Amino acid sequence: MSTNPLFAPWPAPFGAPPFDLIQPEHFVPAFEDGMRRHLDEIDAIVGDPQPADFANTIVAMERAGRLLGQVSSVFFNLNASNGSDALRAVDTEMAPRLAEHGMKVSLNPGLFARVAEVYARRATLGLDAVQMRLLERTHLGFIRSGAGLDEAARARMSEISQRLAVLHTQFGQNVLHDEKDWVLHLAEADLAGLPDFVLEGLRQAAVERGLDGHVVTLSRSLIEPFMMFSQSRSLRKRAHAAWVARGSHAGAHDNRPLMPEILALRAERARLLGYANFAEFRLSDMMAGRPDRVAGLTGEVWDAALRKFGVEREQLLAEARADGLNEGLEAWDWAFYAERVRSRHYAIDAAEVKPYFVFENIQRAAFDTAGKLFGISFVPRPDLPVYHPDVVIYDVQEHGQHMGLFVSDPFARADKRSGAWMSSYRDQENLDGPVTPIIVNNNNFAKASPALLSFDDAETLFHEFGHALHGLLSQVRYPSQSGTSVRRDFVEFPSQIMEHWFAARENLREYARHHATGEPIPDALIDKLLAARNFNQGAASLEYTASSMLDMQLHEHDDPASLDIEAFERETLAAMGMPAEIGARHRPSHFQHIFAGGGYAAGYYSYLWAEVLDADGFEAFEQSGDLFDPVMAGRLRTVLSAGDTRDPMELYVAFRGQEPGTAALMRNRGLAAAA
């Protein structure tokens, strides 16, 4: 295995992964060796003849599994960002094996006995607050994995984990298959109404697939502007049908049979641990605490959004009737007429706005915002190996000193997972000396020359960059407390608060510049953009909140194995009063947040919960009179650097000076008047 780069020290500066050397066939042997080494390290901890203490048990566990963690980070990032049939085959093979390995560790009775022994004596060990939190969270992790159950229940927990790993992998691959498989070829007559920036994206999509002309794909960055501008109602209907049908086509890539099994396995796991359902289990270790608190928040937003939506619907219906559409609006009409109304009421044309949002300028705006707030800079490193020509790696510096690497991967590709996300190739820690982070931001912007972003695209860039800062600014000792390793309904706070700086007037004036002339965006257009920011927010809030409520109800169901998911979806949305003209943001068959992994299962509400924090938190900067107020920026940096070393509400109150309420959220979404 001497030729396998995953086993050798990485020679690139700052320990950057050797992307130019790594091949798919390197991963299985690296995973196997990583698992073997990890189990040897666990056996050594369990077999230590010395009495269990914080150093020889908890800290030793923090040191264990480093090779496996490194291989896993590289593989799962590459598989999501630059996938291939070969990598997906590795994923299919390794998912259950990795799940089995994880359960061998978390259900190891000897290891749990040592952790429990240290936990029982925690008050006598002289631990500082960070160490105490690490011990308590480690012990809780074992309990929630089932380590305290009897032997038969532990065996069943392991079986459940392995099966879920298979199902999660299959679900995500099925969605990717449908997104890659569908293409809508456009004839010349089909291009009516499409602005130049949309045409360029559709042309680039055709080139990437070796086709002539213009094609629509199921990349959100292409299909959303197509639905907004295409004058062909029949084509919008076809595109919408393909978009909502992802994952629900009969045959080998159908996700409908997978979902009841996923839900049933999660429910069984929760019951084994003494909870009534998976939602109760999940919420017990979240800031929200209980499903009824989530229901209270989503219900408050739903009611206000529904009232605002009624006004929006009448506006769009009037526009549609003036356009000769006398029947009711359908879901494939909403974006088209919303853009018409927005253009009419606010004198904003998206085709007029988009030329001012050049990707490179908005990326620089994010970097400069981080510089003003936190004193860091981003220096391109073209000498470092990359896994795709679109990728750019930056050396992140503070006072000229290296503090991490930032990997930017902005554009959509056929083998790239849809959506936008942040991840890490290496997390910050300082257990045995400083380890600097390697953080990646993935977006799926339409590649064009120039690459122009919508207002929402630019906001998404800032969102993911906020996650990146959470990883880059981390300053913790223990690896499991690093960066974004916080409770799910807190992890979105750093990302969502960064969105506010994108829309700040000073940033828009400086960085929103016309791609052809370099002229800054006119103040009058900024005024219109900000005035229109809450336009259509009733519909947008309903779309998101519907998915959040559907997620919770699926995970609270008494007998999910019996569910006909599509019937449940229809009945649940009808009971909510979901307007027929729009739909939930994610239909279950392609709801990857909750079915392609467990990260947001019974947790999709987290974006809304975090918005309570970010809307309230950003008002502190506004109230200071300086959006880059150094005192507030220092407090925010403390939140970003703390990782999981402190309780999240404690961190928030230290930053803001008070616990948040929903008033700022309702103002931020333009729902306060409708409440």
Residue with tokens 């990883």: 471
> Same structural domain for residues 29 and 114?
yes
Dihedral pair phi/psi, residue 400, rounded to 5°: 80, 0
Q: Are 218 and 266 part of one and the same domain?
A: no
Pair (190, 222) in one structural domain = yes
Closest CA to 602 of 149, 151, 247, 286: 286
Task: Give the residue-averaged pLDDT of 155-183.
Answer: 96
Indicate whether 189 and 285 sit together in one domain.
Answer: no
235 with 270, same domain? Answer: no
Q: Residues of the chain with pLDDT > 90: what percent? A: 92
Domain boundary among 576, 604, 632: 604
- Residue-level pLDDT at 285: 96
**One domain for residues 102 and 140:** yes
CA 443 → CA 175, 458, 540, distances in Å?
17, 10, 20
Residue 464 bears catalytic tag = yes
Q: Give the number of other CB atoms < 10 A from CB of residue 229.
A: 22
**pLDDT averaged over the chain?**
95
Residue 100 inside a domain? The answer is: yes
Per-residue pLDDT, 182: 95
Strand ranges in 489-618 using DSSP code E only, listed in sequence order: none
Q: Which residues are within 8 A (CB) of 381 and not within 5 positions of it... i.e. 6 or more apart?
A: 13, 393, 394, 395, 405
Q: What is the 3-state secondary structure (H, E, C) of 177-233?
A: HHHHHCCEEECHHHHCCCCHHHHHHHHHHHHHCCCCCEEECCCHHHHHHHHHHCCCH
CATH number at residue 139: 1.20.1050.40
Claim to verify: residue 58 and residue 131 sit in the same structural domain: yes
Mean pLDDT of 218-235: 95
pLDDT value at position 1?
Answer: 44
> Rounded CA gap, 152 and 426, in Å?
36
**What pLDDT sits at residue 351?**
81
pLDDT, one tens digit per residue, over 458-478 is 999 999 999 999 999 999 999
Is 379 a member of any domain?
A: no
Q: What is the DSSP string of 369-428?
A: HHHHHH-EEEEE-TTS--SSTT-EEEEEEETTEEEEEEEEEEE--TTSPSS-EEEEEE--
56 and 133 part of one domain: yes
183-to-247, 459, 488 alpha-carbon distances in Å: 15, 27, 35
CATH number at residue 593: 1.10.1370.10
393: β partners? 407
Residues whose CB is less than 8 angstroms from the CB of residue 247 and which lie 6 or more positions away in sequence, other chains included:
171, 174, 175, 178, 253, 254, 255, 256, 587, 589, 590
pLDDT for position 675 = 53
What is the DSSP code (8-state) at residue 587?
Answer: -
What's the pLDDT score for residue 501? 97
Q: Which two tokens stand for residue 131?
A: 């160490």
- Give the residue from 587, 604, 621 where a domain finishes: 604
Q: Does residue 601 carry a pLDDT above 90?
A: yes
Is the pLDDT at 634 greater than 80? The verdict is: yes
Q: Are residues 131 and 20 in the same domain?
A: yes
Instruction: Give phi and psi for 95, each to the nearest 5.
Output: -55, -50
> 443: part of which helix (H) or strand (E)?
strand 438-445
Domain assignment present for 171? no
- State yes or no: pLDDT of 650 exceeds 50: yes
pLDDT of residue 422: 98
Q: Which residues of 110-120 are buried (b: 16+ CB within 10 A; e: fewer)?
A: ebbebbbebbe
Q: Residue 11: exposed, middle, or buried by beta-carbon count in 10 A (0-12, 13-18, 19+)?
A: exposed
Q: What is the extent of the structural domain holding 278? A: 258-348+537-604
Read off the DSSP letter of residue 445: E
Give CA separation, 176 vs 76, 352, 388, 419, 591, in Å: 15, 33, 19, 11, 12
Q: Are 219 and 263 in the same domain?
A: no
Does position 672 have pLDDT exceeding 90, yes or no? no
Does residue 43 belong to any structural domain of this protein? Answer: yes
Cα–Cα distance measured from residue 499 to residue 336, given in angstroms and rounded to the nearest whole number: 25
Asked if 532 contacts 454 with a C-beta cutoff of 8 angstroms, the reply is no
Q: Which of 179, 464, 556, 569 is catalytic?
A: 464
Could you report the per-residue pLDDT of 21-80, keeping only the tens digit for each?
A: 999 999 999 999 999 999 999 999 999 999 999 999 999 999 999 999 999 999 999 999
674 pLDDT above the threshold of 60: no
How many domains does the structure of the chain reveal?
3
Q: Are residues 37 and 66 in the same domain?
A: yes
Tokens of 366: 């994010």
Dihedrals phi, psi of 65, to nearest 5 degrees: 80, 20
> Is 420 inside a domain boundary?
no
Mean pLDDT value of segment 330-351? 90
Residue 414 confidence (pLDDT): 87
195 found inside a domain: yes
Whether residue 223 sits in one domain with residue 341:
no
Q: What is the pLDDT of residue 598?
A: 93
Q: How far apart are CA 402 and CA 311, in angstroms?
A: 52
Residue 344 has a pLDDT of 87
Which of helix, strand or coil describes residue 646? Answer: coil
ω into residue 29 within 30 of 0, thus cis?
A: no
Task: Report the distance separating Cα 293 and Cα 277, nearest Å.
Answer: 16
Written as one letter, the residue type at 104 is: K
pLDDT digits (tens, 9 = 90+) for 554-566: 999 999 999 999 9
Residue positions counted in the chain: 675
Per-residue pLDDT for 349 more than 90?
no
- What phi and psi values does residue 403 have, to the nearest 5 degrees? -130, 0
**What is the Cα–Cα distance from 6 to 74, expressed in whole angstroms?**
9
Mean pLDDT of 232-241: 97
Asked whether residue 520 is assigned to any structural domain, the reply reads: no
Residue 518 in domain? no
Single residue among 244, 272, 289 that ends a domain in this structure: 244
